[in-house]
């Protein structure tokens, strides 16, 4: 099952920046792309390295290792050397908090 989990305060992540967070058993990358928050898995589908530290370009992230590009909204891979999409997670703002819907072990 999935549940909404509290990640960070809105003002903790300025526009154009990202931060790795662990929610439940999920390690993800939270991104503020010009005021829109996105959550993607923090693993590049090319070589399994972290996407953390990658440049944010509009609604895209560029892997800091070899330059693969992914859509933050859909997880779609946009250029080589990666060929597989990455997972995305629903994000919502509640008050001043950024929350992400992730899978959890509870029934
Ligand atoms: S690990 Fe991301 S492009 Fe190679």
Q: Where in the chain are the domains?
A: 2-103
pLDDT per residue over 14-66, tens digit each? 999 999 999 988 899 999 999 999 999 999 999 999 999 999 999 999 999 99
Could you give the count of Cα atoms lying within 13 Å of 85 in the half-sphere of its Cβ?
8
Confidence class of residue 2 from pLDDT cuts 50, 70 and 90? confident
Q: What is the CA radius of gyration of the chain?
A: 13
The pTM score is 0.92
Q: What is the pLDDT of residue 106?
A: 58
The response to whether residue 45 sits with its C-beta less than 6 Å from ligand 1 reads no
Q: Please indicate whether residue 69, judged by its CB atom, sits closer than 6 Å to ligand 1.
A: no
Q: What is the 44 CA–ligand 1 centroid distance (Å)?
A: 6
Check whether domain 2-103 has CATH 2.102.10.10, yes or no: yes
Q: Are 20 and 12 in contact (CB under 8 A)?
A: no
């Amino acid at each position: 099952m999935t549940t909404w989990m509290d990640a960070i305060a809105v003002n903790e992540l300025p526009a154009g920046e990202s931060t790795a967070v662990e929610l439940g058993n999920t390690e993800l990358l939270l991104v503020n792309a010009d005021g829109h928050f996105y959550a993607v898995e923090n693993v590049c589908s090319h070589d399994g390295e972290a996407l953390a530290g990658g440049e944010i370009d509009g609604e895209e992230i560029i892997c800091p290792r070899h330059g693969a590009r992914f859509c933050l909204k859909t997880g779609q891979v946009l250029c080589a050397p990666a060929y597989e999409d990455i997972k995305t997670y629903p994000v919502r703002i509640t008050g001043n908090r950024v929350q992400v819907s992730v899978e959890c072990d509870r029934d």
